[in-house]
Amino acid sequence: MAVGLFDSGLGGLTVLGAIEQALPDVPLVYLGDNAHAPYGVRDAEDIYRLTKGHVQYLWDDGCDLVILACNTASAAALRRMQEEGVPRGKRVLGVFVPLIEALTERQWGDNSPPREVAVKHVALFATPATVSSRAFQRELAFRAIGVDVEAQACGGVVDAIEEGDMILAEALVRSHVDALRRKMPEPEAAVLGCTHYPLMQDVFQQALGPSVRVFSQPDLVAASLSDYLGRHPGMIGEGQERRFLTTGDPVRVSDRATQFLRRQITFDAA
């Protein structure tokens, strides 16, 4: 039984890379819905329908545990999928929880009332769909009070990264940081709320300045998964399988993914 990772495109490969480093013996199956990417400009119902269908695909493929390695899918689909019921023996997790645990320095299992935390002014950089969902703010409110979150929808960044145009991506990041600073001049922390954005983390940090702590997801998700599997060893089987599946053109996606991770990645058709 492999752990499944689902993303609308290539962004989740940043999470996969971190998991490979932290858990080299865990078999992984990655599914990218490149035929319908990007999700960040789709409406919530469409994102939910696509996400649910592809998670079911991974469950049927033998992945009892599936991670939505996509903030947009996590924001629009995760809570609804969990509320509607997950099949017995299956699990689906998102990428928000490890981020909020780190931001609030509070474990998710701590169900005490919300309390004040050290960070008061947080900049959230995410896709338009994630921003409009307000899912990050909602989940944060369960854990912390008195935190001012200013969200910036980073249109175009995912498309530029997926196309391999890092010069355009950098220019867009700097433009979005400028726009955020006009609304929140002095953020204390910045959340990179898209799994594509770690590839631009240095650009975000440079544009924000050294005084702003930038929270990025891959390492946080990998550490959280390691902890989860330690508590639920039955969710993982033996083997070292690595498979990469796509709904798009496998040749084109393989080329992009190889550039993305800077090592040979071969996708097969889902």
CA separation, residue 23 to residues 3, 90, 219, 222 (Å): 11, 20, 11, 8
Residue pair 125/154 in contact by the 8 Å Cβ criterion: yes
pLDDT at residue 36, rounded to an integer? 95
Among 4-13, 230-239, 260-269, the least confident range = 230-239
Q: Tens digit of pLDDT for each residue in 26-45?
A: 999 999 999 999 999 999 99
Q: Which residue among 160, 194, 212, 236 is the active-site one?
A: 194
Q: Which residue has the higher pLDDT, 269 or 25?
A: 269
How far is Cα 40 from Cα 223, in angstroms, rounded to an integer? Answer: 26
Domain ranges of the chain: 3-95+218-269, 97-216
Residue pair 177/124 in contact by the 8 Å Cβ criterion: no
Number of residues assigned to the chain? 270
Q: Which residue among 28, 37, 70, 153 is the active-site one?
A: 70
How far is Cα 172 from Cα 177, in angstroms, rounded to an integer? Answer: 9
154-172: average pLDDT: 94
Tokens describing residue 251? 């040749």
100-123: average pLDDT: 85
Enumerate the β-bridge partners of residue 153: 126
How does residue 254 score in pLDDT terms, banded at 50, 70 and 90?
very high
Q: What percent of the chain has pLDDT over 70?
A: 98
How far is Cα 114 from Cα 130, in angstroms, rounded to an integer? Answer: 23
pTM (2 d.p.): 0.92
Q: What percent of the chain has pLDDT over 90?
A: 81
Rounded to the nearest integer, the mean pLDDT of the chain is 93
Q: Which residues contact 177 (CB under 8 A, 6 or more apart)?
A: 125, 152, 204, 207, 208
State the Cα torsion 120-72-40-245 to the nearest 10°.
140
The dotted CATH code for 97-216 is 3.40.50.1860
How far is Cα 23 from Cα 248, in angstroms, rounded to an integer? Answer: 28
- 108 has pLDDT over 70: no
Count Cα atoms within 13 angstroms, Cβ side, for 174.
9
118-131: average pLDDT: 96
Question: 92: helix, coil or strand?
Answer: strand
Tell me if the bond preceding 38 is cis, omega within 30° of 0: yes
Tokens describing residue 37? 């990417």
pLDDT at residue 238, rounded to an integer? 57
64-77: average pLDDT: 95
Q: Which residue has the higher pLDDT, 123 or 242?
A: 123
pLDDT at residue 261, rounded to an integer? 86
Which of the listed CATH numbers 3.40.50.1860, 2.30.42.10, 3.40.309.10, 3.40.50.720 matches domain 3-95+218-269?
A: 3.40.50.1860
Residue pair 28/242 in contact by the 8 Å Cβ criterion: yes
pLDDT at residue 237, rounded to an integer? 60
- 137 has pLDDT over 90: yes
How far is Cα 124 from Cα 13, in angstroms, rounded to an integer? Answer: 21
80-94: average pLDDT: 94
> Known catalytic residue: 70?
yes
pLDDT at residue 236, rounded to an integer? 77
* Alpha-helix runs per DSSP H in the chain: 13-22, 44-60, 71-73, 79-84, 96-104, 128-133, 135-141, 157-162, 166-183, 201-208, 217-231, 250-261
pLDDT at residue 239, rounded to an integer? 57
